[in-house]
Chains A and B, each alone.
Chain A
Amino acid sequence: MPSQLKILEEQGEDAVTIRLFGEVDISTAQELKERLYSVVDEKKTNLRIDCSNLDYIDSMGLGVLVGVLKRVRQGGKNIYVSNLKEGIRKLFLITSLDKLFIME
């Protein structure tokens, strides 16, 4: 089956923007992890995760984001999460992850 996740990367002035398209779940979380870790290690900058086109994320995807946040913060940077759809925003609220990331 083709991957249900597409990841686009865009270099900005003060952050790399990662645009997520589709679904982050048990079958795509590893792909997201590898991609984000490589961006963080390579660019050593802030990350902005644009979720305008993210339709679904599960606890494994959220776990990946927390792991990436830890790594980003070790370098003194941060992760901005933007344009969450309502259902996904609810997950951030339930899990209190909205307090961990900078929500836009």
Chain B
Amino acid sequence: MAERSESIELTLPFKAEYVSIARLVASGVAARIGFDMDVIDDVKVAISEVCNKLVKADSSVASSFRIRFEIEKDRLTVAFACEDKSLGRLFKEENEELGMYIVAALMDEVEYSPGDGSLFRMSKVVEGLN
């Protein structure tokens, strides 16, 4: 796959009916990287859960949030960002919500305060590729 990091970005409104679009894009990107079907499903589910959290919280400041897919040689990293930085409060390690529990279980790495300006980052490592 990509020698250099390449990225794809998707901007979504805070609306429930668009979360399925995030899943469609996630499937496409994960398939392109060469993940197995079950790993593609894991990535889809995890992205969808993070979107749910953002959409449920909504924002009085911003009308949309961004999902950036960073494709690297050995991994896919997905970063969620928004002009409304206060949404960072949604992503805490001690979160006991079912959705974020699922995210942590399905992804290889999760970062709650990434320090790159995004609200939350998570990665899946590519296994068994040449």
Contact = CB atoms under 8 A, between A and B. Distances in A.
Contacts of B101: 94-95
A69 B110 CA distance: 32
B20 A94 contact: no
Given A86-B38, A94-B105, A59 B16 contact: no
Interface residues of A, number: 18
Given A86-B38, A91-B102, A95-B101, A58 B49 contact: yes
Question: Range of interface residues on chain B?
Answer: 20 to 34
Interface string A9-33: 0000000000000010111000000
Contacts of B122: none
Interface of B is mostly: helix
A63 B101 CA distance: 13
B38 A95 contact: no
Contacts, number: 56
Given A62-B98, A94-B106, A26 B38 contact: no
Interface in B77-103: 97-99, 101-102
A59 B105 contact: no
B17 interface: yes
A56 B51 CA distance: 15
A40 interface: no
Interface of B: 16-17, 19-20, 23, 38, 41-42, 44-45, 48-49, 51-52, 55-56, 97-99, 101-102, 105-106
Given A25-B23, A26-B56, A94-B101, 14 more contacts: A23-B20, A25-B19, A26-B16, A26-B48, A26-B51, A26-B52, A27-B17, A56-B23, A56-B44, A60-B99, A86-B38, A87-B42, A94-B102, A95-B98
Interface of A: 1, 4, 23, 25-27, 56, 58-60, 62-63, 86-87, 90-91, 94-95
